Amino acid sequence: MAGNCLKEDCYPEETGCNHEGCDDLSDCQFYKKEADQSSSEEKVKDDFYVRVPWTGNTFGLQDLNFLTSTSPVILIGVTGVASAGKTTFLATLYCLLRHGHKIGSYQFAGSLTLTGWENIAWYLSWNTRNDIQFPPHTSSNAGRIPGLLHISLRNESGDKKDLIFTDAPGEWFGHWIVNKNDSNAAGAQWVHEYADAFLLFADCETLSGTQLGKARQQTKQVADRLKHNLNHRPLGLVWSKSDIKLDEEVKKQISDHIQNAPIPNYQEFETSVRNDISTDLQLNILESIDWILTALSGETNELPQVERFAPTDLFLSKR
C-alpha cells in the first residue's frame, strides 16, 4: 500500500489522487485515513490537494511518463553486481556537474530529481577530515523498477538533452545472471529491455582481492546478459575504484571475454572517486557519458508504454 492509498502506484499525500482524480481525498474509494488520527485532523470539504508532476525524489514509471510526454529522453542503464561502485559513480557525476564541469559541450541545466541526487551526493560532499564517505548500498527492496535519476543538459547552441540514469541494486543483477526470469531479477530485466545504453561496472577492489574468481565470473556473466539483443546500443565497461592497482592480465581476460563477439559501440573507462593529481579518474566519469551521447547520435529506443486510463481520449486519459 502506498501511503494511505490501496493502489501501489498512487501517492496521494505527495501528488494528489492518481486513479480517481478526486480533489477531496475523502471521496476516493481507494483512500483510507490512518485509524489513529484524531477527529481534529479530519479533513473538511473545502480542503483539496493540488497534484504536482514531480516531487524531486527519484522517478518511478508514472514520473517517467510525465517527462517523456514533453521531451525525448536517453535512458542509461547502470549495471553490475552489488558494491561495484554504481551509486558512487552517479554521486560523483552529479558533484562534478554541480561544480561546473561539462559533459562534452553540454553543461548541467537542471533536474527533476534534485532531492534524489542530493541524497546520494551528500555522502561525498560533507566530510570533516577530507575523508571519502560513500553512499549507502542501494536497497534491493525498492520494487521491480529501479530508482531513476534525471538530469537536463544544454550546450551553448541551446540544444537540450534529458538523461535518465538507473540506480538499481546489484542484487538484481546477481539474480539475473542465474535466471533472467527470476521474479527478483525483474528490475534488471526491465533495465536491459528499455535502456538506450549501458555502463557495466567491474570492481577493481574486489577483482584484486580474495574474491577475484567470483567477481571475474560475475562480471563476465552480466556482460553476457547485456550483450543479448544489444544491437547497436552502446556498452561501456567501467573499471570502478581504479585507484586500486589491478593485475593487467585480469583486465585483459574480462575485456577479451566481453569482446569475443563484435560489439558496434564499445569503450572502456577507468574511474574513481579518488583522483590523484596525475590521473583523470574522476573526469573519466564525464567522458563515459559523453561517449554514450556521441555513440547514440540522437537515436533512442522506444520507451515503455505506461497504462492509460482511457486510451481513446488524448486529453482525459491523464489526471
Number of domains in the chain: 2
Residue 301 located in a structural domain: no
Judgement on whether residues 172 and 263 belong to the same structural domain of the protein = yes
Polymer length in residues for the chain: 319
Burial 210-221 (b: 16+ CB within 10 A, else e): eeeeebbebbbb
Angle formed at CA 36 by CA 33 and CA 40, multiple of 5 degrees: 80
Per-residue pLDDT, 191: 93
Residue 1: pLDDT over 50 = no
Residue 191 located in a structural domain: yes
CATH number of the structural domain spanning residue 285? 3.40.50.300
167 bridge partner residues? 147
Judgement on whether residues 106 and 139 belong to the same structural domain of the protein = yes
Residue 305 located in a structural domain: no
Judgement on whether residues 243 and 224 belong to the same structural domain of the protein = yes
Judgement on whether residues 42 and 136 belong to the same structural domain of the protein = no
Longest dimension (CA), the chain: 70
Amino acid code (one letter) for 162: D
Q: Which strand (E) or helix (H) includes residue 222?
A: helix 212-227
Calculate mean pLDDT across residues 95-109.
94
- Is the separation of the CB atoms in 167 and 142 below 8 Å? no
Residue 236 located in a structural domain: yes
pLDDT per position as a tens digit, 25-37: 677 777 775 544 4
> Three-class SS of residue 270?
strand
Cα atoms in the Cβ-side hemisphere of radius 13 Å centred on 190: 21
CA distance 222 to 240: 15
Residue 232 located in a structural domain: yes
Look up cell 525525448; give the residue.
Answer: 72
Judgement on whether residues 105 and 142 belong to the same structural domain of the protein = yes
Judgement on whether residues 107 and 6 belong to the same structural domain of the protein = no
More reliable by pLDDT, 302 or 230: 230
- Is the separation of the CB atoms in 152 and 93 below 8 Å? no
Residue 130 located in a structural domain: yes
Judgement on whether residues 37 and 65 belong to the same structural domain of the protein = no
CA distance 153 to 160: 6
Residue 79 located in a structural domain: yes
Provide the residue range defining the domain that includes 15.
Answer: 1-52
Judgement on whether residues 149 and 44 belong to the same structural domain of the protein = no
Judgement on whether residues 157 and 32 belong to the same structural domain of the protein = no
Last residue of a domain, one of 31, 52, 73: 52
Judgement on whether residues 14 and 86 belong to the same structural domain of the protein = no
Residue 16: pLDDT over 70 = no
Across 111-178, where does the E strand assignment appear? 147-154, 160-167
> Three-class SS of residue 5?
strand
CA distance 172 to 170: 5
Last residue of a domain, one of 15, 34, 52: 52
- Is the separation of the CB atoms in 234 and 295 below 8 Å? yes
* Lowest pLDDT segment from 31-45, 140-154, 208-222, 249-263: 31-45
Judgement on whether residues 30 and 93 belong to the same structural domain of the protein = no
Per-residue pLDDT, 43: 45
Judgement on whether residues 8 and 103 belong to the same structural domain of the protein = no
CA distance 10 to 28: 12
pLDDT per position as a tens digit, 72-81: 899 999 999 9
Residue 311 located in a structural domain: no
Residue 123: pLDDT over 80 = no
pLDDT per position as a tens digit, 143-177: 445 689 999 999 999 999 999 999 988 899 999 99
Look up cell 527492496; give the residue.
Answer: 141
